[in-house]
Structures are given as structure tokens and as C-alpha cells.
Amino acid sequence: MRIDFWTLDEHQAFIKQIQPESRYYILFQILYWTGMRIGELLALTKSDIDFRSCKISITKTYYRNDGQDIITAPKTNSSIRVIEIPGFLAEEIEKYMSRIYGLKDEQRLFPIVQEAVQHKLKREIQKGNLHKIRVHDFRHSHVAYLIHQGIEPLIIKERLGHKDIKMTLNTYGHLYPTRQREVADMLDKIHVENGKEENGKGTNESQ
């Protein structure tokens, strides 16, 4: 399975083009640094963010149908989860929320539709002559970054809300660097060390 994603450098080049205090700045930051689905992000409310412990609760998803805003539970129980977020992102979200006058606990943080996000992304990509990706590819970008940092597949599975580890490995397994050379080098080292020990024993016996 081929997936597209942005490296951290590509994301930083993209995000620098967007006004830091704007809705889209924090929206794309959340997508990149959490890996949540766009529907999950558009369903977020004030009550879903725990700034003290730097956590976001994912309990619902948003979509538009026949001109109506629909918010439902995620498709699977595994999608209901809590995502730990870095302190800098929590601060950015809190500042964004502080600028929304009279924000209520159950009010959506981003009262827009997916098409608006897609159009904004497309415009900014063209503006910066950046590698083209889709909104969903921010999820892939987050995973690629975690893999580059050496994060284990099980942790990534839990963060993404995958039903099982097979789904995670089937999608992202090819991004993990091969460790075959590492294994061979380890065996080589053990063989050499054992050889030295055997030689040492032989010397002692002859004496």
C-alpha cells in the first residue's frame, strides 16, 4: 500500500505560510501532531480538551449530510480513545480557544466542513509549491514521524485508534527500517566474542 506523507521539514514549511492566530493554523497543527482523523477533529469541543494533563478525548466524529451537520459516535469502539499531546500544542489550542468569544463546553472548535479544509490545504500547497498531499495524509505524516523517532507499532495503534495491530502494520509496516543488518552484526559480534573466550580457555589449559 502506497501512502503519501510530509516530513517534519515539509510540515514546518507549510505551517509557516499560515497566520499563527488563524483557525487553520491550529487545525493543521492538531492533525499533524496527533494523527486524528479529520472527522474526529471537526467534532472536537471545548470539553474534549484537558489542558492540565495535555490530553484530547476522542469520543465522536463529524460529517455533513444533505446540508446537515451530523455528529455521531466513531465507527468502532477502538476509535474512542485519549490522545496525549505535547505541551506546546496544548498551549496553542488554549490560546486559540481564548480568542473565541463565549465558547461553550459543547461547541465545536472548528465549525466548518471537510471541503473547506481540503480547499485551504490545496491553496497553501500551490502557494508554497509543496509536495501534494490530502488532508487524510496528515494522519500518515504523523505516523511516519513517530516511526522515524523509533516509536513501537503498538503505541501507534493505540494513538490512531486502530482495531488491531494488523491494521497498523499492514498500513505502515513498510516504513519501519529493516533490522536484518543489525541482527547479522549482532550475531557476528557474539561469534567473535565467543571465539575469543574459546581461545582464552585453550591458552589457560596449555599453561
Known catalytic residues? 37, 75, 136, 139, 162, 172
Task: Mention every residue, 6+ apart, whose C-beta is less than 8 A from residue 92.
Answer: 25, 26, 29
Determine the 3-state secondary structure of 19 from DSSP: coil
Determine the 3-state secondary structure of 123 from DSSP: helix
Task: Mention every residue, 6+ apart, whose C-beta is less than 8 A from residue 62.
Answer: 39, 40, 42, 43, 69, 70, 71, 108
Q: Please give the Cα distance from 11 to 17 (Å, whole number).
A: 10
Q: Please give the Cα distance from 26 to 111 (Å, whole number).
A: 13
With CA atoms as reference, report the closest residue to 110 among 17, 40, 60.
40
